[in-house]
């Protein structure tokens, strides 16, 4: 089908864009990559009266690591992604992959490379699709989104950003200008696993995991985040369940079963709630195990430099990158 | 910043049929400068097919799933059905027509599809040809697994994909043995670009 008509605006500065958004109000919609919005418009599920194209707005096309990550493992680095940066730009940025490996690990599961060439990371957060990998990545890392309007600028944490199914807290006159993904400290490993019915399709369930260890390989933190198990991304802190143990003694299977019990997935045409709960438990176990392996690599890697990347994790990631690329 | 076509008196120019505001859209398509006045809601895929008459780009699902409409924007594959033409005013686009050689003979990827029987009905083929053309620029010697992954975003209902995977590998082979010539690029004095003899020049 063809989309319905709309009035087209093409601002060239953030100020111009904010002016237009304030003027057109709830009738306006921002378009960046359009990889979610245009299908909805083609199917007439969305019919905005005004489209504000931000692709030529200067100063929004960036994806970089801010701050220096300390050699001692202090995590002060933050990945900042501008509103018109494509998934592919983030995915291919070596500094970003080193600072927040989880971003690259999750992005290879976002649709197909052709979609990632155009789709934007900030746009997918604003779209707030419960199957959107980056929603869970932002929630798991405790990231935030910068929103600007003629009324001012505010930064909203992931907890408050995702309101409900396909609903973020962005007001009609606001523009999401950037997303911030904080780096974890140097002893943290991460992983993303998911199951989809077809390559590149929406996940039936997807799980991201972060595992942090101390100098003695004792687990100090273990967290997971989920897509497709509810209207918003779900984060679980499994540290208490895993217990104060070393990596070798962690019972990931039991942790997975615990996680399955915590979730309340829904039922749809692809999976029953019970199947999805089972799947979430199994994927939790896999994601935590993979993240733990990478955390161990960080510790034994020793002189891996300031970026906290070991040969093992780099090799694993590169392999994944090639496979998906 | 409201981009519209206006006549000499400053009046809005409307589409005769639907009464919609028109926007002048110009692109360099396959190295040729093309333009048309279209409503904002014109999809890039329809702009190429209906307004420019380049019907090589096929439209399958029209919601980004099948990949038949894949074209190259600045060398990168994108779904033409998920973009409005007006957003790409001034862009450089390569369609399947631009993947043929300048003399009209089959391009490398097209030749590989012919060699390996990589198509049956051919409807999906334009999307595969553009996708694979861009992919081989990035990875000139893929493994079979990588070749399979490279085409994972394109649907084919006839072949079962085996011969398309073979076509990717064959195209890589043809590409590697092709004579490459050093030709000066006129737009950038003092620099030279590598391209295959007979290959259509994409950049202006």
Which CATH number fits the domain that encloses residue A20? 3.30.43.10
User: Do residue A166 and residue A238 come from a single domain?
Assistant: no
CB contact set of A90 (below 8 Å; sequence gap of 6+):
A63, A79, A81, A96, A103, A104, A107, A121
Q: Is the pLDDT of residue A313 over 50?
A: no
**Best CA proximity match to A52, nearest among A176, A201, A235, A199:** A176
Domain with A224 in it: what CATH number? 3.30.390.50
Q: Would A323 be classed as within a structural domain?
A: no
User: Do residue A115 and residue A178 come from a single domain?
Assistant: yes
The count of CB pairs under 8 A between chains A and B is 107
A114 vs B18, B78, B84: nearest CB: B78
Domain with A178 in it: what CATH number? 3.30.465.10
User: Do residue A78 and residue A169 come from a single domain?
Assistant: yes
**Count of domains forming chain B:** 1
Q: What is the mean pLDDT of residues A202-218?
A: 96
B153 vs A38, A55, A112: nearest CB: A112
CA torsion, ordered A222, A227, A229, A235, to nearest 10 deg:
30
User: Do residue A122 and residue A92 come from a single domain?
Assistant: yes
Q: Would B177 be classed as within a structural domain?
A: no
**Best CA proximity match to A77, nearest among A316, A318, A317, A307:** A307
Element (H, E) at A311: helix A311-324
**Count of domains forming chain A:** 3
Q: Is the pLDDT of residue B148 over 70?
A: yes
| pLDDT for position B16 | 60
Instruction: Find the angle CA(A222)-CA(A227)-CA(A230) to the nearest 5 degrees.
Output: 110
Last residue within a domain, chosen from A154, A182, A210? A182
Q: Is the pLDDT of residue A319 over 90?
A: no
B2 vs A3, A9, A12: nearest CB: A9
SS3 B94: strand
Instruction: Find the angle CA(A45)-CA(A46)-CA(A47) to the nearest 5 degrees.
Output: 125
B94 contacts A16 by C-beta, under 8 angstroms: no
Structure tokens at B87: 């957003």
Q: Would B114 be classed as within a structural domain?
A: no
User: Do residue A170 and residue A236 come from a single domain?
Assistant: no
Q: Is the Cβ of B78 closer than 8 Å to some Cβ of chain A?
A: yes
- DSSP codes of every residue in B97-161: GGGSBTTSS--HHHHHHHHHT--SS-SSHHHHHHHHHHHHHH-SS--HHHHHHHTTT---SSS-S
Distance from CA of A8 to the nearest CA of B (A): 6
Check residues B183 and A181 and name the one with the higher pLDDT.
A181
Q: Phi first, then psi: what are they for B146, rounded to 5°?
A: -65, -40
User: Do residue A150 and residue A215 come from a single domain?
Assistant: no
- DSSP codes of every residue in A313-325: HHHHHHHHHHHH-
CB contact set of A101 (below 8 Å; sequence gap of 6+):
A190, A294, A309, A313, A317
Instruction: Find the angle CA(A187)-CA(A191)-CA(A194) to the nearest 5 degrees.
Output: 165
Per-residue pLDDT of B27-81, as tens digits, reads: 999 999 999 999 999 999 999 999 999 999 999 999 999 999 999 999 999 999 9
Q: Would B186 be classed as within a structural domain?
A: no
**Best CA proximity match to A162, nearest among A183, A193, A181, A136:** A136
**Best CA proximity match to A13, nearest among A74, A64, A69, A57:** A57
Distance from CA of A31 to the nearest CA of B (A): 10
A3 contacts B41 by C-beta, under 8 angstroms: yes
Q: Is residue A125 very low, low, confident or very high in pLDDT (cuts 50, 70, 90)?
A: very high
d(CA A116, CA A108): 9
Q: Would B60 be classed as within a structural domain?
A: yes
- Pairing status of strand B76-79 against strand B70-73: antiparallel
A34 vs B76: CB contact, 8 Å cut-off?
A: no
Q: What is the mean pLDDT of chain A?
A: 91
Three-state SS string over A208-266 comes to: EEEEEECCCCEEEEEEEEEECCCCCCEEEECHHHHCCCEHHHCCHHHHHHHHHHHCCCC
Q: Is residue B199 very low, low, confident or very high in pLDDT (cuts 50, 70, 90)?
A: very low
Residue with tokens 């369930």: A205
Q: Any idea what DSSP says for residue A5?
A: P
Structure tokens at A156: 């909203």
Q: Would A319 be classed as within a structural domain?
A: no
Q: Would B109 be classed as within a structural domain?
A: no
Q: Is the pLDDT of residue A247 over 90?
A: yes
Residue A83, class by beta-carbon neighbours within 10 Å (0-12 exposed, 13-18 middle, 19+ buried)? buried
Q: Phi first, then psi: what are they for B163, rounded to 5°?
A: -75, -20
Last residue within a domain, chosen from A182, A203, A228? A182
d(CA A324, CA B94): 24
User: Do residue A148 and residue A216 come from a single domain?
Assistant: no
Residue A60, class by beta-carbon neighbours within 10 Å (0-12 exposed, 13-18 middle, 19+ buried)? buried
**Best CA proximity match to A248, nearest among A287, A223, A216:** A216
Instruction: Among A123-137, B12-26, B45-59, name the one with the lowest average pLDDT.
Output: B12-26
User: Do residue A137 and residue A158 come from a single domain?
Assistant: yes
| pLDDT for position A322 | 32
User: Do residue A159 and residue A254 come from a single domain?
Assistant: no
Domain with B84 in it: what CATH number? 3.10.20.30
Distance from CA of A275 to the nearest CA of B (A): 26
B131 vs A114: CB contact, 8 Å cut-off?
A: yes
Q: Any idea what DSSP says for residue A293?
A: H
B78 vs A3: CB contact, 8 Å cut-off?
A: no
**Structural domain containing residue A285:** 188-302
Check residues B102 and A299 and name the one with the higher pLDDT.
B102
User: Do residue A197 and residue A292 come from a single domain?
Assistant: yes
d(CA A117, CA A87): 7
For the entire predicted model, the pTM comes to: 0.88
**Structural domain containing residue B73:** 22-99
Last residue within a domain, chosen from A138, A159, A182? A182
- Write the ipTM: 0.89
Per-residue pLDDT of A145-165, as tens digits, reads: 999 999 999 999 999 999 999
Q: Would B92 be classed as within a structural domain?
A: yes
Q: Which CA distances in Å does A291 have to A105, A169, A317?
A: 11, 31, 12
Q: Which CA distances in Å does B30 have to A109, B20, B52, B99, B152?
A: 31, 29, 12, 8, 25
| pLDDT for position A274 | 97
Q: Would B125 be classed as within a structural domain?
A: no
Q: Is the pLDDT of residue B13 over 80?
A: no
B1 vs A11, A41, A322: nearest CB: A11
Q: Would A318 be classed as within a structural domain?
A: no
SS3 B73: strand
A11 contacts A54 by C-beta, under 8 angstroms: yes
- DSSP codes of every residue in A150-218: TTEEEEEEHHHHEEETTEES--TT-EEEEEEEEPPPTTEEEEEEEEESSTTSPEEEEEEEEEEE-TTSB
Instruction: Find the angle CA(A36)-CA(A31)-CA(B24) to the nearest 5 degrees.
Output: 120
Q: Would A256 be classed as within a structural domain?
A: yes
The crossing angle, in degrees rounded to 10, of helices A273-301 and A252-262 is 140
Q: Would B66 be classed as within a structural domain?
A: yes
Q: Which residue of B has its CA nearest to A38?
A: B82
User: Do residue A157 and residue A202 come from a single domain?
Assistant: no
Q: What is the mean pLDDT of residues A195-220?
A: 95
Distance from CA of B6 to the nearest CA of A (A): 14
């Amino acid at each position: 089908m063809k989309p319905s008509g709309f009035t087209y605006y093409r601002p060239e500065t953030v100020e111009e864009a904010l002016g237009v958004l304030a003027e057109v109000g709830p009738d306006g919609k921002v378009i960046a990559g359009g990889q979610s919005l245009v299908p909805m418009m083609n199917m007439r599920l969305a019919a905005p009266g005004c489209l504000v194209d931000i692709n030529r707005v200067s100063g929004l096309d960036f994806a970089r690591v801010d701050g220096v990550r300390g050699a001692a493992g202090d995590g002060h680095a933050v990945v900042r992604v501008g509103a018109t940066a494509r998934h592919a730009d983030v995915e291919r940025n070596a500094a970003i992959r080193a600072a927040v490996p989880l971003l690259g690990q999750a992005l290879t599961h976002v649709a197909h490379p052709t979609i990632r060439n155009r789709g934007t990371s900030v746009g997918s957060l604003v779209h707030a699709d419960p199957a959107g990998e980056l929603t869970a990545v932002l929630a798991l890392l405790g990231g935030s989104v910068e929103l600007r309007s003629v009324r001012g600028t505010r930064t909203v944490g992931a907890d408050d950003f995702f309101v409900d199914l396909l609903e973020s807290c962005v007001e009609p006159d606001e523009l999401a200008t950037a997303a911030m993904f904080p780096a974890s400290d140097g002893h943290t490993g991460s992983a993303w696993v998911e199951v989809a019915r077809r390559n590149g399709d929406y996940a039936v369930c997807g799980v991201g995991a972060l595992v942090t260890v101390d100098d003695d390989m004792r687990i100090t933190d273990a967290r997971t985040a989920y897509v497709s198990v509810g209207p918003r991304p779900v984060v679980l802190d499994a540290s208490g369940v895993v217990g104060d143990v070393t990596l070798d003694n962690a019972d990931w299977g039991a942790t997975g079963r615990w996680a399955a019990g915590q979730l309340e997935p829904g039922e749809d045409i692809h999976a029953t709630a019970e199947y999805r709960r089972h799947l979430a438990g199994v994927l939790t176990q896999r994601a935590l195990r993979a993240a733990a392996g990478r955390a161990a690599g960080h510790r034994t890697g020793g002189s891996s430099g300031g970026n906290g990347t070991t040969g093992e994790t780099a090799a694993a990631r590169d392999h994944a990158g090639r496979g998906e690329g | 910043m409201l981009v519209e076509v206006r006549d000499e008196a400053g009046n809005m120019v409307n589409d005769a049929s639907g009464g919609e505001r028109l926007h002048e859209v110009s692109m360099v398509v396959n190295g040729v400068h093309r333009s048309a006045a279209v409503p904002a809601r014109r999809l890039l895929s329809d702009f190429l097919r209906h307004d420019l008459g380049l019907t090589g780009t096929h439209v399958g699902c029209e919601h980004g799933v099948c990949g038949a409409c894949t074209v190259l924007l600045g060398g990168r594959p994108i779904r033409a059905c998920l973009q409005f033409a007006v957003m790409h005013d001034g862009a450089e686009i390569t369609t399947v027509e631009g993947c043929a050689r300048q003399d009209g003979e089959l391009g490398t990827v097209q030749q590989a599809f012919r060699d390996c029987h990589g198509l049956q009905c051919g409807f999906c083929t334009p999307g595969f040809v553009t996708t694979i053309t861009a992919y081989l620029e990035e990875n000139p010697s893929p493994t079979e697994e990588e070749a399979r992954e490279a085409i994972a975003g394109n649907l084919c209902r006839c072949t079962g994909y085996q011969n398309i995977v073979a076509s990717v590998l064959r195209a890589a082979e043809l590409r590697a043995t092709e004579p490459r010539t050093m030709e000066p690029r006129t737009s950038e004095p003092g620099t030279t670009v590598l391209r295959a003899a007979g290959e259509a020049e994409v950049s202006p």
